[in-house]
Chain A
Amino acid sequence: MSTPSPAFRARIREGLGNAVLQEALGRATRSFLISRLKALSDLPDAETVRDRARAIRAHTIAHLDRYLEQFAQEVERHGGKVFWAATAREACDYIVSLARSRGIPMVAKSKSMVSEEIGLNHTLEAAGIRVVETDLGEFIIQLAGERPSHIITPAIHKRREDVSQIFQKHLGMPPTHEISEMTAAARRALRQVFLDARMGISGVNFGIAETGTLVLVTNEGNGRMVTTLPPIHVALMGIERVVPTWEDTEILLRVLARSATGQALTAYTSFLTGPRRRGEPDGPEELHVVLVDNGRSRWLGTPLEEALYCIRCGACLNACPVYQAIGGHAYGSVYPGPIGSIVTPMLGEGNGAELAYASSLCGACQEVCPVRIAIPDLLVRWRQMRAGSLLPAWERLGLRGYAWAARHPSVWARIGRWAMALLRRIGREGWLRRGPGPLRAWTAVRDFPVPRRSAFRDWWASRKGDHR
């Protein structure tokens, strides 16, 4: 039966029962959606831009071999080092051994979803290397010992009171409810981290193939700090992030921030090509680009490759009624929300395929997706794949019987009447909240209304004369 595992159910219940989370999610997702609408309506030719953005992503993924190779060659031509990581483990091992070989005790990190995906922080810390997250939201989450709950604002579920407590405890900040004072406390603490760190680790939004340029968008400037101040910069990049040209990148930038936060551009868009050059006064002495596959290449050439078009703006999270209700943690995965429910099982993370059911397939996600990924279709594909492999024999048999009955009207009508009578008997106050036998699992997460009067076909037959 297509129902969530007990663990997933427990996380959903926790999300639904958390009033603070509900309020914060409602506020954040609403404001993101309103800003997005305004930003896109201010952009001339927005729909053509989205079409072009989709075509660029589709073209790149269809010719990923060519662009990846070009990208890697250009990074190296400009003095960077490229490491190809087939698995999460290989990526982590490379970075740990690099840090160890240079005797690095602490690294400063800016936001990178791939680093979460591969569990980098955990591996570095297990090797005795301290990792400091420098994005304000990530920093809060790290101090609280939690996981991000939104890909754009990771601490969306924290109130100012929570943040104040965390900073008082870990940074020795005096008690305050002023957000500006909390931000100032974080600035002081993290400024020293930026200056002291001998290695900076960042994610990558886009990698421009023609020049080997890394494109990073940030609002706070921490992305600039970790790629500029430490003598070693390590950039973690999923292999699908590559984009052919600067012009293509500019098109994607036109929709990225607008879809994410409703800004025309984020405060900082960095275009980084290789390490510090001769004659440059600053910048990192070494650049290492870690290209992470971790299951991505397996999906090329399949209908699910479309999920690799994603530019990680988070718009589908904000638009999703399920995400709005349960929050990011309920998904139990690094990538939450509609696109996360597709990507998570692709990357082989945990029991991901059940996430495909955390959707009402309403289509709001596809509507807002800047590259128009057919998210509901892909979710249905996962459901089909999961159903094909996981359905018990009795359920497959039942579905076959259902299909047969649906093709035979008189049988269908008779079964319908029996079912109505049965439902009326076992329902309470007009609702069936706990079904018998195998229905119990289904009704555990859904309430089913008990049919009130007669069947539609009887009602229709009785009124047939009136309206003709």
Chain B
Amino acid sequence: MSHPVLEAVRRRVTHRQVPLGPAPALPFDAPPGSEAVIQRLWASWAEVGVHAFRCATEAEAIRGVVAWLRERQIRQVLTDARTARSYPGLIPALEDAGLAVMSGTLPREEGPRYLGLGRWATAEAGITEAVAAFADTGTIWVMGGLGGARCASLLPPVHLALIRRAQVYPCMAAWLREARASGALMEWVEESSAMIAITGPSRTSDIEKVLTLGVHGPKEVIAFLIEEAG
């Protein structure tokens, strides 16, 4: 690869050796899915403004999602194929409850794509699975990839996330270590144009440093933590 900019860089870089020094400790360390990790996640969620429910089973979580939406009198939701694959009971349960469920693919042509986005933008809540959560920061880790929609956790004013206990890691560094060792990190990168770490609702303090939620993304993030393994 050659370009005048790259050539200019090549001419001037020092290539000096820089000792990296000792690796710092993990921000938080405990086995994934352990009670210590769950406790820490709960505290972090409270701090960043994620409202959370603990559910014994997947079925209970789905019932919880439906009940929550009903209580808010929400009628239209946006979800995606990735979430439906991991939680097959979700869309049928939503439809049984009389909710209009949008879950599909934006066309690639500009006009139809624009119309599709416009429809998605009317959703009152978005539902996605999380592929992991990080306890130290209260982060929900969502992915694109096959069937993974970026918009479901972005466009609606509320984002509901489904997470299994075993997916809760002490911190991002611990997840990375495992994903690197197993090869999952590179698989994610190859299949997914977007991996998003969501840490609480959309927020701004741009006016007089006063915190306001939901400026562009969701104003509320609701997590359903499922005890049973998938």
Contact = CB atoms under 8 A, between A and B. Distances in A.
Contacts of B154: 221, 224-225, 228
A213 interface: yes
Given A58-B18, A271-B195, A134 B216 contact: yes
B21 A69 contact: no
A136 B204 contact: yes
B172 A281 contact: no
B70 interface: no
Given A135-B206, A267-B201, A279-B145, A186 B215 contact: yes
Interface stretch (B9-17, B93-101, B160-168, B222-230): B9-17
B215 A183 contact: yes
B207 A183 contact: yes
A45 B149 contact: no
Contacts of B185: 246
Contact of B27 (A154, A246, A254, A301): A254
Contacts of B197: 265, 268-271
A246 B180 contact: yes
A305 B24 CA distance: 25
Contacts of B201: 267
A297 B192 CA distance: 32
A213 B154 CA distance: 20
A224 B206 contact: no
A250 interface: yes
A187 B216 contact: yes
Contacts of A190: 216
Given A195-B118, A220-B215, A269 B196 contact: yes
A190 B217 CA distance: 11
A300 B12 contact: yes
Given A274-B193, A282-B150, A297-B8, A62 B14 contact: yes
Contacts of A159: 208
Contacts of A65: 6, 9-10, 13
Contacts of A85: 5
Contacts of B27: 43-44, 254
A265 B137 contact: yes
Contact of B108 (A43, A261, A273, A285): A285
Contacts of A301: 12-14
Contact of B110 (A44, A48, A64, A231): A231
A254 B171 CA distance: 11
B189 interface: yes
Contacts of B106: 281-282
Contacts of B113: 231
Interface of B: 1, 3-6, 8-10, 12-28, 44, 48, 80-81, 104-106, 108, 110, 113-114, 117-118, 121, 136-137, 139, 144-151, 154, 172-173, 176, 180, 185-186, 189, 191-210, 212, 214-218
24 contacts: A45-B24, A48-B24, A62-B18, A65-B6, A72-B6, A140-B206, A153-B206, A159-B208, A160-B208, A179-B207, A187-B215, A198-B110, A222-B215, A225-B216, A231-B110, A267-B198, A269-B197, A273-B192, A273-B193, A273-B194, A277-B191, A277-B193, A279-B146, A283-B193
Please give me the 6 A-B residue pairs with the lowest Cβ-Cβ distance, nearest first. Answer: A221-B217, A137-B206, A300-B12, A221-B216, A48-B24, A269-B197
